[in-house]
Chain A
Amino acid sequence: MPLTFTPVIGIEIHIQLKTKSKVFCKCGTDYANDPPNSHVCPVCMGLPGSLPVLNRAVVQQGMLAGLALNCRILPTTFFFRKSYYYPDLPKGFQVTQSDLPIAAEGWLEIHDDAGKPKKIRINRLHLEEDVGKLHHSTTDGRLEGASTSFVDYNRSGLPLAEIVSEPDVSSAREAVEYVTSLRRRVRYSGASDVDLEKGMMRFDANVSVKCSDGRWGKRAEVKNMNSFRALERAIEYEIKRQSKILEDGGEVLQETRHWNDTKGVTTGMRVKEFYRKFIVEPDLPPLVVSSSWVEETRARLPEMPVERAERYEKEMGLSETDAAVLTDSIDVARYFEAVVASGANPQRAGNWVRTEVLRFINEKQISVDDLAVKPASLAELLSRVESGKLSTTQAKGVFEGMLEGLSIEDAIKKTGAVEGGVGADALTALVKSTLAANADVVEEIKSGKDTKGKKIKFLQGLIMREAKGQAKPDEVEAAIEAALKDDA
C-alpha cells in the first residue's frame, strides 16, 4: 500500500498594530517618506539608561484584534525579555509578552479542502516590539555574498501583535484561507491596516508531516513569507520536501528554514536556531486591564465580515458573491449600508457599489471615504434609475460627473442626458438606420445562427453608442426585436 502523508501546520502571524507612536517610546510610526534613522530616540535605540513606557493605544489595539479573533482577554499579563544577538535588535533582547499574552484561546472558521466548515484554534495573541530593518548590499536582497549590511532603526519599537495558531491547519490552501479571513477581521476591527505591501503582516509557518505508517516528522519553522502567495508556496514546498524525506525512509530535522521567494525553495539556516531565552522584563510592571475596559473595547468592535455578509444575503437578498465583495473592507461595507439607509434598493446599490464604486477607488487607489460621491447622492442617483428617469448607461455618465465633484443636477446637465431617455420615435429611427447599415448581421440573425444572442447584443451596442448613453438597454433590445419582426 502506498504511503500517505498528512500535513500538520501551525501559523504565526505578526501584524503591526495601528497607533500614532511606537510601543514603548513617543517616536512616530509614520516614517514611510522619511530617511532611515529619522524616527529614533534613546528608548527604541536601546541606549544605556533608557526605559520603556507602554503606549495605551497598543493595549487597546491588541485587545481589539484579540476580540476580533474570538479571544479571551486576560486581566493581568507580563512582559519578558527575549534574548538573542542581532544588529537589528538594539537592546540585545526583544520585549514581548510571549506566552503570557493579553489575548488567548480564540478561533476562526474556515473551510477544509472538501469545503466543510472547520475551526482553526488560536492559541494566543501577544504584544511585542518590532526590530530594526536590515538592508544588504547585494542588489537581489540575498543575505549571502553581501560585504556590508545596513541598519535602519525607524521600525525598531513599532507595536506588533503576534498571533499564534494551534497546529490545526492541514494544507497550504487552508493556510491561505485562514490568513485571509484573519486579515479581514483584524482590518475590520481597526487594530491594524494589515497592509502586506508595507510589511504590516508577516508569516511564519510550523510545518510537520505525519506518515500513514505512524512515523511523524519533526517540525520545521519556515520564516520570511511576506505575502499570501509566498505562504502558500512555502508550505506546499515544505510538505513535499518532508514527505519525500519520510518516503525515502529519512528523518526530518527540527530546524528553522528560510523561504527564498526567488528560487521558490526553503533552505535550512546553516546553524541552529538563534539562542533565545526569557527573563521577566523588570522595567515593566504587570499590565492590568480592567473588565470595564475590555467591555468598552468589545462594544467598539464592529460587526465582523462573515456575519455581515450573512445579513446582506438574508435581509437584503444579495448574492453570496456580492455580499462577500461588499464586506471585504469595512469602509466599503459601511458606504454600501449608508447608500441603502438613504433609501436605495439594496440589490441595485450592491451592484453599483460592487462595480462602479470599487472600480473607481481601485483605479485611483483612494479610500471609499474620499469619494466625492457621498452615499446619499448615490442613493439619489439610483432612485432616478429605479424610477426610470435615467437609464443605467445615463446614470453611469452622471456618476462620472459626480465623481469629479459635480452635484447630481450639474452632472446631468454636463452629460446632456435627458431624463426619460431617447424618445420612442427617435429610437425607432435609429434602430432602422442601424439595421440597414448592418444588413449582413441582420441576415445572420434571421437565418437562426445567432443562437447565443451575440449578434443582437452587437447591434444593441451600436445603437446605445449612437444614442450617447441616453437609451435604456432593454428598450433598445425590444426595439431591435420589433424591427426584425417587422422586417420579416
Chain B
Amino acid sequence: MDIFELGARDVAKGVREKKFSAVEAFDSCFGRLSAYEGKIAAIITRTAEEGREQAKSIDARLAKKEDVGPLGGVPTILKDNMCTRGVRTTAGSRILGDWAPPYSATVWDLLRNAGATLLGKANMDEFAMGNTTGTSAFGPTANPCDITRVPGGSSGGSAAAVSAGYSPFSLGSDTGGSIRQPASYCGIYGFKPTYGLVSRYGLIAYGSSLDQIGPFARDMEDLALVMSVLARHDPKDSTSVQGKNLDFTLKGDAIKGKKIALVKDFKDFTLDRPIADAMKRVAGILEKAGAVITEVSLPTVARYAVACYYAIAASEAHTNLARYDGVRYGYRVSDDGINLKESFEKVRSEGFGVEVKSRIIAGTCLTEPVRSEEYYVAATRVRTLIASEFAKAFESVDCILQPVTPSLPEKIGAVDDDATKGYESDLYTLPVNMAGLPGLSFFTGYAADPALPVGLQLVGPRWSDASLLNIGFDLQKILGNPRIANGGL
C-alpha cells in the first residue's frame, strides 16, 4: 500500500512511529498528484518546495523527539481562497494576479502548527461563485469518479484532490453548499461547521455572514480529527465564537434514541433515482439502528430560502469585491492616458469573469438606495423567518436527513452556470448557511448507472457539530467507506 492511500491518522502515526518519514509521505502524495493532475486539474498552485521544507522540519523535530502535532507530516491541500503567506493565492480569479499574501489564514496557521504540510492550492469557482468549479479563471476541474463530469463546486478542487488520493484531507469553504455538494459529487465526506466555529480570518470573503471553512476527507475519523484542530476561538475574527469547547472524539453508538427528521415540504421536489433510493435506504438504516424517524415542516425555507440566499450573498459579495481596483495588489493595467474611473473599470472588467460580474451587478442592484428596503432589507427579514423556522424544528428533533443535491453530477460543459436557473438544485444546501447551521455531507455508496457516488446530508442545530459527526461515524460503519478514485469507478 502506498502512503498516499492512507488516511490522515495513519500517515501521522506512520510518521510519528518512523515507519516512513514526513518527506516520504509528502513525496508519495505529491507523486500521486503529479500523476493525476493532467486528468483532474484540481490544483492551481503546487507548493512542492514549501511543502517539502515543512516535511523536512517535521522530520527534524521528530529526530529531536519533539511533539509534531496530531497531523504531523500529513500532506494537505487548501482551497485557493485561503491566504498562505508567500504563496500565490488567487480565489480562482484573474484579478488577484500573482498576489502572494503577506499573511496566512488562521486555519493554515492551525494546520501547520498541528504538523500538516502543504501540497498546493486547490482550484475553485471564481470567488467561490458557482457549483461546478467551472467559473475558475484557471479552467475546470474533472471529477475523479468520472472525468467527463464536474466535481461540483465551488470547492471542487479540494474535493477532487481528496477523492483522487492527492491528500488524505483538504480544506474547502462553504457559503451555500460549496463543501457539501462537491463532497457528495466526488464520493467523500465534507463538513460545513456551525457559523462561528472555525475562524474566517484569511478566507477571501464571498458572503461574509454565510462563509464557513470546513474539511474534506475519505473517512469520518479524519474529518473529526481535522475539526478538532480547526475548532478554535480566533481573536482575529469578531464572529468567531468563544467558550464553545466541542469534543470531536468519535464515541460510536450515537444513533440510538435520536429523533431524525425528513422535511415534509421537500417531498414534492424530484430527486434523481439513486438519490431517492439512498434517502429511503439510509432512513431505514437509521431506524434500524434505533433512531426515531419523523417529519418536520419548513415551508418558509422551501419557498424562500434560495431567493433569500442569493439576495444576501450578492449584497455582501458586491461589497467584499469592491476592493479589487488594481491599486494595492493583484491584476493591474497600464494607466497611460486613462483616468481613475477608467482604470478601475479596466482592472475589474478584465479581472473578473462573467459569473462574478453578474453577481456584483445583482448585489449592487439590490442594495441601491431606492431598492434596498424592498430587496436587501427584506431579505434580511426573511432570513430571520428561516432561522426561526429551523430553530423551532430543532426543538423537537435532533437532526434532519436530506439530500445534498437533487441530481448526480452533470457532464462538464453541460451546465449553465447561471446559478439562479434551477431553484431546486440549491435548495438542500443554501438554507443551512442562512441559519448558520452545521451540515455533514456523507458518502452512502455508488450508484450503478451512471456509475457515480451518492451522498446525503445531515443537518443539525447550531453547535451540534460533534453530534452530527458521531452519527456520520456510525453510518460509515454500516455504509462503508469510499475508495480512492482513478478517473472512473
Contact = CB atoms under 8 A, between A and B. Distances in A.
A and B touch in the complex (CB under 8 A): yes
A51 B319 contact: no
B367 A279 contact: yes
Nearest to B326: A87
B204 interface: yes
A48 B236 contact: no
B473 interface: no
Contacts of A49: 81-83, 101, 105, 200-205
B323 A92 contact: yes
A87 B322 contact: no
A325 B81 CA distance: 59
Contacts of A91: 319, 322-323
Given A42-B102, A90-B328, A53 B323 contact: no
Interface in B292-338: 315-316, 318-319, 321-325, 327-329
B423 interface: no
Given A85-B344, A277-B372, A278-B372, A283 B236 contact: no
Most chain B beta-carbon contacts within 10 A, residue among A49, A91, A151, A282: A49
A51 B238 contact: yes
B209 interface: yes
Contacts of A83: 318-319, 322, 367
A284 interface: yes
Q: In which size bucket is the chain B interface? A: 35 or more
B63 interface: no
B344 A47 contact: no
A51 B237 contact: yes
Contacts of A151: 327
B322 to A, nearest CB: 2
Contact of A48 (B204, B235, B341, B372): B204
A280 B319 contact: no
Contacts of B340: 87, 149
B239 A283 contact: yes
Interface string B226-240: 000000000111110
A45 B328 contact: yes
Interface in A242-287: 276-280, 282-285
Nearest to B210: A282
B236 A51 contact: yes
Most chain A beta-carbon contacts within 10 A, residue among B82, B89, B205: B205
B316 A279 contact: yes
Interface string A283-294: 111000000000
A47 B101 contact: yes
B380 A280 contact: yes
A90 B322 CA distance: 9
Given A51-B201, A92-B319, A282-B316, A277 B239 contact: no
A4 interface: no
Most chain B beta-carbon contacts within 10 A, residue among A47, A90, A279: A279
B96 interface: yes
A28 interface: no
Interface residues of A, number: 30
B83 A283 contact: no
A162 B325 CA distance: 27
Contacts of A92: 319, 321-325
Interface string A454-470: 00000000000000000
B315 A279 contact: yes
B450 interface: no
A48 B319 contact: no
B73 to A, nearest CB: 27
A122 B119 CA distance: 58
B238 A48 contact: no
A278 B367 CA distance: 7
Nearest to B376: A279
B238 A53 contact: yes
A48 B327 contact: no
Given A45-B328, A52-B238, A53-B236, A85 B208 contact: no
A285 B436 CA distance: 14
B100 to A, nearest CB: 11
A439 B113 CA distance: 97
B277 interface: no
Contact of A282 (B83, B102, B209): B209
Contact of B368 (A42, A277, A285): A277
A85 B322 CA distance: 7
A50 B327 contact: no
A87 B201 contact: no
A93 interface: yes
18 contacts: A42-B102, A47-B103, A48-B205, A49-B83, A49-B204, A51-B236, A51-B237, A51-B238, A53-B237, A83-B318, A90-B323, A91-B322, A93-B319, A280-B380, A282-B209, A282-B239, A283-B238, A284-B238
The 5 closest A-B pairs by CB, nearest first: A92-B322, A282-B209, A282-B208, A48-B204, A49-B202
Given A46-B328, A51-B239, 19 more contacts: A42-B101, A42-B102, A48-B83, A48-B204, A48-B323, A49-B101, A49-B202, A50-B202, A51-B237, A52-B238, A53-B236, A83-B318, A85-B322, A85-B341, A87-B325, A278-B367, A279-B315, A282-B209, A282-B316
Interface of A: 42, 45-54, 81, 83, 85, 87, 90-93, 149, 151, 276-280, 282-285
Interface of B: 81-83, 89, 91, 96, 99, 101-103, 105, 200-205, 207-209, 235-239, 315-316, 318-319, 321-325, 327-329, 340-341, 344, 367-369, 372, 376, 380
